Structure 1
Amino acid sequence: MNLPAETSTFVGRDLELSEVSRLMGDSRLVTLTGPGGVGKTRLAIRAAATAVEHVYFAELAAEQNGDLLAHAVAAALGLREQSVRPQAEVVAEHLADKRLLLILDTCEHLIAATRDLVTRILVAAPGVRVLATSRQPLGLPSECVYRVEPLADADAQRLFCDRAVAVLPQFTPTDAVVRLCTRLEGIPLALELAARRLRALSPQELADRLDDRFALLGGGSRTGRHDGLRSAVGWSHELCTPDERLLWARLSVFAGSFDVEAAGQVCADERLGNVPGVLARLADKSIVRADDDRYRMLDTIREYGRDWLRELGEEELQLRRHRDYYLTLAREADADWFGPNQFTWALWVRCELPNLRLALDHSIASAVGLELVGALWFVWFCLGEIREGRYYLDRALERNGKPGPARTKALWAAAWVSFAQGDLDLVAHRTAEACEAALEQRDWVGAGYAHLSLGALTIVKGDPERGGVTVEQAIGYFERAGGRHVGKLVAATVLGLCLLMRDEHERAAALMAEQRAECESAGEVWARSGGDYIRSRVELGRGDPVAADRLARAGLRAVWRFGDLLSSAVAVDQLAMTACAVGDHPRAARLLGAGQRIWDSFGLSQFGSPDFGGPRLETERQVRAALGDAEFERGYREGEQSPEGAVGHALGGLPNSRVVRWNLPAPE
């Protein structure tokens, strides 16, 4: 299960839990509806906790782009496939033989996309059940809709008192609590917000102020449950100081979570100086929730703040400031990627991906968006976000046709991403344009990356001789540009592969020794892993499979942590060869299956190259001959069904190789 942890007690809802459980047994699609803050998510989590299947939880509140909904669900499932096929199709295929419960939380802003994805899943995966939460039904014929109502009076008072004791251990209920809970109409979010105010106000004072607030918002009349919640949130807003209200509104431009630095850079100005202090006060009032060194807003709170931001006339300004802040950081990450901070930047991306998406969605048709998507090339390629990279790069290039360095960079980045997906025709088209543009602009760095892509394409198409010449040209362009560029180290790896294909193993070994020395001097990890792969092949050719295994594992360890599945597939194939070389054929069969599963996720196994794929095919032939068809297929399927398990096993080292075993988490 990947259910979020419940950080407070669950109060009441016995009848609701029983009914939802019954509906889940009768229907494969149950949608919990109701206004924001009524407790749909908590009810779904508690109902799912008793499910007999595995449960996967996809939180969709931060995802604003319906085109990327399936990607968000795939991430919740732990699915890292980056196929050229539509991601919804990939998710449905992945689930086809699974038996599990999938929770889709907060769907109302993505109704059409959710409806389409759920339809695919229900058709393709008969063993999958879906539990959705939304302010409105999905609108599918097979959907069973259950409306979540506010808490009954007694449960509302229990919830308020429970939260009150957590704030003030000496709290004692009074008659004012009954009046307060009645006025808040049993909406859990409103009750929790009210309880947090007990540090400053008594229940009587809270109830009196809430009376005033209702009168201010609508003459004391109540037109619906949602009005009760909005009034409660508005009342919390009324109790905030002016600077707290202003920061609340400005923070609404963030998607997902954010840190203090981001809040300060995006929100501070002459009207709002001490952002960290004001943010701490908002956290104390439960307007934002603190999670270690990051903060987030509940969806209802964010929406209320966004409405106020529009009223202030600042929405576009704040979105531009948000975009510019993340562009600045993306430039810094791009410039710093060649160096010792790669894992730090990878962690930053994992935390900030919702905000990066938001910045791209807001600017993709502009020159700023073109620059941003190109600066994030390492996210798309090195960190395995290939499908999203393709999505944003395609749209940025379609909408920004004016030649310039930013377009050139987006072109070669798009070529690299398309190469990973196996779309070699598009690689050829974009590489040709990038090469021509870079040379016209005397952009030597861009020329280096573009020629590197052209050389790699030529190699996998079966001409390592000409490809090697082109890669050497790429290295020359990087040297002409001066400075340090990770592309030069990648080019050395690709040139080493050419030398292996030409049986020049000692030259390849010497070149990789130089590459590794430069990587170690710079503290570079990602590009070094490619050199480890080439050195592993050299050692295997020299007849030392244990050394070859050690080097391949070193490379895999790095790229698997980054989430780079393309490099992971190459390394897993190499480990299958080392296992075969020492006679561990069952292990080799599992690794061949795992490697093929990873390759298949890109759409073109071993890049479709007979030269590149030849060693793998020969290994498979030897392993099959040693085990027999039945045992080989059994091990192969085991690796294919659980590539993560096979990779973790492979990273333990060969038997008797005197390599220390270690545990590696699945890629983030």
Structure 2
Amino acid sequence: MRPVPLLAGLVDKSIVAVNSSGDRARYSLLETIRRYGRQRLQEEGGTTRLRVRHSEFYRMTAVRAGQAWCGPREVDWLVRLRTDLPNLRTAVDHCASRPDLAGDGLEIAVNLARTRCWFFSTLGEGRHWLERLLATRDPSASTTTSTPTTSTPTLTAGALAMKAWIALCQGDNSAAETFLAECRAVARELPDGPSAAPVTYIEGAHAMLVRGDPASRAVLAETRDRFRASGQAGDAHMATMLWAMAEAFFGTRASASSARDVYVAEAEASGAEWARTWAQWCSGLVELRHGEAQRALAPLRQALARQQAIGDSWGPVWGLETLAWAVAATGDGTRARGSSAPPTACAGTRGWH
């Protein structure tokens, strides 16, 4: 029997329940039937095979989401990933229990970080899975990745870079420096060496957010070019965002405005709603730093409204503080009273002065 009629028959018999309240129909089993099915599966020795298939399906789901990042469907993918987070956790947990599958688990965890899924849920969880999988992985094991050219050092370096990025956004600068040193060590095995895009990305982010180094502008601009050359649009967009931020922090009015214009144009052309909200935020940031505080208010408010509309729980943390400082700069200290620290890019990083 074909899958769709078979599934419809199971729904008609109340063996499978269907929930059509969201944008996609979702199916589930009653708990008693679920337990019975799990028992029969164990009796027949099919549990391991099914868990591997389940993990592979969700690995492919995460990879597809990562490939679609910074595109017209990025918000749709975020909604889907958040809805499927229990399944994704189960898949990652199974991979983490088997050294031969830990590489597949890393692909899931890295792509969930790439799509900012962990940022919309719990940053600490993303770091936990990356640390566990990196510790579990058997370096001699091959992965079932859909991109067979991805080598073990490339995957490991990408995971270490993402782990360092999460640590930076948590304000755990000492851990970020440790992870960055590990990333540099692994990078020696990469074709591009220390100049590989994931490595230069985290080098630039660390230089900007921790050391307050104006040289971060050039590093992040180079990273952007490297990601673009390799066809990694989503990663290139993140590098563009950080480059535009670095120009706002450390550049001149002309260089900051130019970088902002590039960033806004890319975000609009992508059709990516999440990207557009950050481009608006960056526009407000540049006005606050180099223009008129009053003109920063509208884009910052618009960015906040759009982020709240798509369920972004991370962006408003940055946006509210930036907005408070913009309001204060207009002379309205009473309305800006909610913020008591200088504007920062991530919690725990250096301020702007």
Shorter-chain TM-score bucket reads 0.7 to 0.9
Q: 1:458 to 1:541 in 2, by over 3 A?
A: closer
Name 2:181's counterpart in structure 1. 432
Q: 1:274 to 1:483 in 2, by over 3 A?
A: same
**Residues 166-197 of structure 1, C-alpha deviation per residue, up to 9 Å, x if partnerless?**
xxxxxxxxxxxxxxxxxxxxxxxxxxxxxxxx
Name 1:355's counterpart in structure 2. 87
Within a 5 Å distance, the mapping from 1:527-538 to structure 2 comes to 527-538=275-286
Higher relative contact order structure (alpha carbons within 8 Å, sequence separation ≥ 6): 2
Q: 1:360 to 1:484 in 2, by over 3 A?
A: closer
**Residues 148-178 of structure 1, C-alpha deviation per residue, up to 9 Å, x if partnerless?**
xxxxxxxxxxxxxxxxxxxxxxxxxxxxxxx
Contact 2:324 2:335 in 1 (8 A): yes
Amino acid in the other structure paired with 1:281:
G
Name 2:348's counterpart in structure 1. 607
Aligned residues: CA RMSD: 2.8
Contact 2:172 2:348 in 1 (8 A): no
For residues 446 and 285 of structure 1, the distance between their equivalents in structure 2, rounded to whole angstroms, comes to 59
Please state if 1:278 is matched with 2:6: yes
For residues 116 and 318 of structure 2, the distance between their equivalents in structure 1, rounded to whole angstroms, comes to 19
Name 2:143's counterpart in structure 1. none
Name 2:57's counterpart in structure 1. 325
Shift of 1:374: 1.8
Within a 5 Å distance, the mapping from 1:327-476 to structure 2 comes to 327-364=59-96, 365=98, 366=101, 367-377=103-113, 378-400=115-137, 402=139, 403-438=152-187, 440-442=189-191, 447-476=196-225
For residues 162 and 308 of structure 2, the distance between their equivalents in structure 1, rounded to whole angstroms, comes to 21
**Residues 262-305 of structure 1, C-alpha deviation per residue, up to 9 Å, x if partnerless?**
xxxxxxxxxxx422222222222222211111112232221111
Please state if 1:549 is matched with 2:303: no
Within a 5 Å distance, the mapping from 1:40-55 to structure 2 comes to none
SS in 2 for 1:586: coil
Within a 5 Å distance, the mapping from 1:48-127 to structure 2 comes to none
Within a 5 Å distance, the mapping from 1:563-582 to structure 2 comes to 564-582=312-330
Q: How many residue pairs were aligned?
A: 331
Q: 1:381 to 1:511 in 2, by over 3 A?
A: farther
Contact 2:190 2:196 in 1 (8 A): no
Within a 5 Å distance, the mapping from 1:138-177 to structure 2 comes to none
Contact 1:451 1:471 in 2 (8 A): yes
For residues 134 and 172 of structure 2, the distance between their equivalents in structure 1, rounded to whole angstroms, comes to 17
Within a 5 Å distance, the mapping from 1:640-651 to structure 2 comes to none
Please state if 1:289 is matched with 2:17: yes
Please state if 1:517 is matched with 2:265: yes
Q: 1:543 to 1:420 in 2, by over 3 A?
A: closer
Please state if 1:313 is matched with 2:54: no
Among 203, 227, 231, the residue aligned to 1:478: 227
* Higher-Rg member (1/2): 1
SS in 1 for 2:334: helix
SS in 2 for 1:304: helix
Contact 1:401 1:407 in 2 (8 A): no
Amino acid in the other structure paired with 1:386:
L
**Residues 566-625 of structure 1, C-alpha deviation per residue, up to 9 Å, x if partnerless?**
4322211111123224444333224x27x99xx9xxxx974331x43x4xxxxxxxxxxx
Q: 1:526 to 1:449 in 2, by over 3 A?
A: farther
For residues 260 and 91 of structure 2, the distance between their equivalents in structure 1, rounded to whole angstroms, comes to 39
For residues 605 and 408 of structure 1, the distance between their equivalents in structure 2, rounded to whole angstroms, comes to 22
Shift of 1:348: 0.5
For residues 440 and 446 of structure 1, the distance between their equivalents in structure 2, rounded to whole angstroms, comes to 12
For residues 376 and 578 of structure 1, the distance between their equivalents in structure 2, rounded to whole angstroms, comes to 33
Contact 2:169 2:346 in 1 (8 A): no
SS in 1 for 2:272: coil
Contact 2:245 2:282 in 1 (8 A): yes
Q: 1:523 to 1:453 in 2, by over 3 A?
A: same
Name 1:208's counterpart in structure 2. none
For residues 443 and 335 of structure 1, the distance between their equivalents in structure 2, rounded to whole angstroms, comes to 22
For residues 335 and 111 of structure 2, the distance between their equivalents in structure 1, rounded to whole angstroms, comes to 40
Name 1:41's counterpart in structure 2. none
Contact 2:170 2:347 in 1 (8 A): no
Shift of 1:494: 2.2
Q: 1:530 to 1:304 in 2, by over 3 A?
A: same
Amino acid in the other structure paired with 2:59:
L
| Unmatched segments (≥5 aa) in structure 2 | 140-151
Shift of 1:333: 0.7
Q: 1:440 to 1:363 in 2, by over 3 A?
A: same
Shift of 1:562: 5.2
SS in 2 for 1:440: coil
| Identical-pair percentage | 27
Contact 1:326 1:356 in 2 (8 A): yes
Amino acid in the other structure paired with 1:414:
K
Amino acid in the other structure paired with 2:94:
H
Higher mean C-alpha displacement, 397-406 vs 374-383 = 374-383
For residues 133 and 89 of structure 2, the distance between their equivalents in structure 1, rounded to whole angstroms, comes to 13
Q: 1:606 to 1:445 in 2, by over 3 A?
A: same
Shift of 1:484: 4.0
TM-score (norm 2): 0.83
Contact 1:556 1:572 in 2 (8 A): yes
Amino acid in the other structure paired with 1:442:
P
**Residues 480-510 of structure 1, C-alpha deviation per residue, up to 9 Å, x if partnerless?**
x432422323223322333333351221111
For residues 540 and 482 of structure 1, the distance between their equivalents in structure 2, rounded to whole angstroms, comes to 34
Contact 1:455 1:468 in 2 (8 A): yes
